[in-house]
A and B are shown apart, each in its own frame.
Chain A
Amino acid sequence: MDNETLLRSPTVSVASSREVGAMTVLNGAGEPVEVASLWTEVDAVLVFVRHFG
């Protein structure tokens, strides 16, 4: 765990931004996007949804 976390929910274990950022996600066209690119220009609020339905 990084020591860079300011706040977390009481029961949560904290993710590493380096590990999350190294992942890729897909956009609507199916093209890969590096997750870390989401917070290079703005602070990022990542909301993970359970499913699209």
Chain B
Amino acid sequence: MVQLQPRVREFEAKGAGLFVIGSGLPQYIEGFRDTTGYTGPVYTDPSLKVFEKAQLVRSVRATFGLRSVLHGLENLKKGHRQGKAQGDMLQQGGALVIAQDGTVLFAHQSNAGGDNVSPTALLSALERRGMAPPDSQ
């Protein structure tokens, strides 16, 4: 999220809205804003149904696997400390870019902590609007 906040205007310039969806209780949204500095729309789904429909990973291995541990250590070295988690600990994140007509332009599933999609990849997906879907040809 820290990666995205400085680039919010780039998404707006491409006519897109950036929406954050978490899994904690709604009352934790303000704390998330305070922590990240993100001022855009934030929603949550403690039931995790939207995460399931988005086909995002939820597993012990993804949460506590070697890759996640290494990422955590790397963050500690950088001076970033994770606060108390507010949400489902086993649920991984991800991203979807969806056009106004419902076309899924891009999908990313995180497979471990730190497996975040880059803002550049999301912005590039928005530039592909209007291209013919390869599967439909």
Contact = CB atoms under 8 A, between A and B. Distances in A.
B100 A43 contact: yes
A29 B131 CA distance: 38
Interface string B97-109: 1111011111111
> Contact residue range for chain A?
35 or more
B55 A13 contact: yes
Contacts of B92: 50
Contacts of A14: 55, 104, 107
A32 to B, nearest CB: 10
Nearest to A27: B43
Given A47-B95, A51-B91, A23 B16 contact: no
Given A3-B135, A17-B98, A50 B93 contact: yes
Nearest to A3: B135
Contact of B26 (A11, A12, A28): A28
Interface residues of B, number: 75
Contact of B29 (A4, A19, A28, A53): A28
A19 B18 contact: no
A38 B117 CA distance: 20
Given A20-B96, A45-B126, A6 B11 contact: no
A36 B96 CA distance: 12
Interface of B: 1, 4, 11, 14-24, 26-32, 35, 41-46, 49-51, 53-56, 82-89, 91-100, 102-111, 113, 117, 122, 125-126, 128-129, 131, 133-136
